[in-house]
Amino acid sequence: MNSNNIIEAHHSKRDLAANQFDHTEWAKAHPVAITQYWSGKPAPAGRAAEARILWSDEAIYIRYVCNQTEPLVVSPNPQTQKKTIGLWDRDVCEIFLAPDPNVPERYLEFEVAPTGEWIDLAIHTTPEKRDTDWEFHSGMTAAARVDQGRVITAMRVPWDHWTHKPQKGERWRANLFRCVGSGESRGYLTWRPTLTPEPAFHVPAAFGWLRFT
């Protein structure tokens, strides 16, 4: 298996909160560069991001550190008490996770915005259509911090509503994304490019691997 296709998720003995961006545990996590557009073309450095993933017996944690050299595209009236439908139309970081590697077409989608807004969805993609469970409830929490020249976002998703909790050595299918900008200059960045004619993230065949260590 190509090592460039694998994210190592380090097991933590600590249960982190979503807003613990600077916790020392993150230094143990494998950095994953999100530097290409969906097409495989390199994105400008000012749009690049890095993701890290940790997991514990309680939850999985994903943190993004994004370069931000352009105005934020966010809601003027953000709400964080419930999921925000349409979050993907603004600046956002996303992860798709398929717990059953034999059925990558069934996966969970999690997003977090620079405002701390979030959304969680259960997806089933077929050649004919994409079914979305809009009522899926993961119990996730999210947080964000806007610094000079960068945005940090993170999410914590407990294992309570998953089909199962992973074991060390287990491998899931996964992909990471970042949407930034607006209009014709909007950028759709991915860890594993989907190589579709138009920007598209819902391509299970392009998923890489997440290995729990």
Residue 3 has what pLDDT? 60
Q: Determine the Cα angle at 142 with ends 66 and 44, to 5°.
A: 15
Residue 127 has what pLDDT? 87
The single residue listed with the structure tokens 């969805």 is 121
Nearest by Cα to 68 from 155, 146, 163:
146
State yes or no: pLDDT of 2 exceeds 70.
no
CATH of residue 157's domain is 2.60.40.1190
Does the pTM of the predicted model rise above 0.95?
yes
The single residue listed with the structure tokens 């530097």 is 35
Q: What is the pLDDT of residues 14-65, one digit of tens each?
A: 999 999 999 999 999 999 999 999 999 999 999 999 999 999 999 999 999 9
Would you place residue 13 in the very low, low, confident or very high pLDDT band (cuts 50, 70, 90)?
very high
Residue 162 has what pLDDT? 92
State how beta strands 49-55 and 106-112 pair.
unpaired
Q: Which residue has better confidence, 156 or 163?
A: 156
Q: Determine the Cα angle at 36 with ends 28 and 208, to 5°.
A: 60
Residue 21 has what pLDDT? 97
Domain encompassing residue 194: 3-212
Overall number of domains in the chain: 1
The single residue listed with the structure tokens 């997440």 is 210
Q: What is the overall mean pLDDT for the chain?
A: 96
Is residue 8 helix, strand or coil? Answer: strand
